[in-house]
Amino acid sequence: MGYITPFVTEIDFASGTLSAPGYVIQRKLSDMASMYVDGDEAARILADEGDRLIYEVQGVELPAEEGQIPHCTTRITAGRIGAEYHMTKGHYHARREQGEVYFGLSGHGILVMQTETGETSAQEMVAGSAAYVPPFWAHRTVNAGDEDFVFFSVWEARAGHDYGTIERDGFRKLVVLRDGAPAVVDNPKVG
């Protein structure tokens, strides 16, 4: 295993900014337009308003080896594509038996999860919420508020990320604005 000396990272809870990020990833609407249920509205926004930042990840760089514990922040901007709130792509872990912990830092989110055998779960997250993503559950976070939703994630280095299954099959549940509030509803495009 790679030898790492101890370190501390300072985190700004409102923005998710790390004092010394090892990497920063930005996901824009153009990176994930096909993941929103209202594809026409995603295309209209891209054509009329231009691209927009959906979320940003800042993490520490660690070797993807047994025993290492990667951690990062995610900041999801506020907004919707049609009725559907801004969200992450979402993924299964490539090693399905690896779980994860999320900790809410600011704003209001909904953690949407599902298994390959058809179970679904949607958990509210606010500052101070510690959410457990058990092994075998795909996970996507959604900003259900009107300010940035920021959370911290901790996982095992060999978990890996399987985005392809969600890109192909989608999530069974969507988070949409309904009657003036966020609601978790069935995805009409997933049987």
What is the contact mask toward ligand S6P in residues 29 to 68, using x (rule: CB under 6 A)? ----------------------------x-----------
**At residue 30, what are phi and psi to the nearest 5 degrees?**
-65, -20
Of residues 158, 147, 159, the one with CA closest to residue 139 = 159
77: its two tokens: 């901007």
Nearer to ligand S6P, 113 or 176 (CB): 113
Which does residue 105 bind out of Zn ion, ligand S6P, none, counting CB within 5 to 8 angstroms by kind?
A: none
Give dist(CA 62, CA 118) in Å, integer: 33
Report which DSSP code applies to 18. B
* CB closer to Zn ion out of 32 and 42: 32
Closer CB to ligand S6P, residue 67 or residue 178? 67
- For residue 100, the minimal CB distance to ligand S6P (Å) is 5
Contact 165, 95 (CB under 8 A): no
> Is residue 153 involved in binding ligand S6P (CB under 6 A)?
yes
Cα 137 to Cα 65: distance, rounded to the nearest angstrom? 22
Residues in contact with ligand S6P by CB under 6 A are: 57, 72, 74, 88-91, 100, 139, 141, 153, 155, 161
Residues in contact with Zn ion by CB under 5 A are: 100
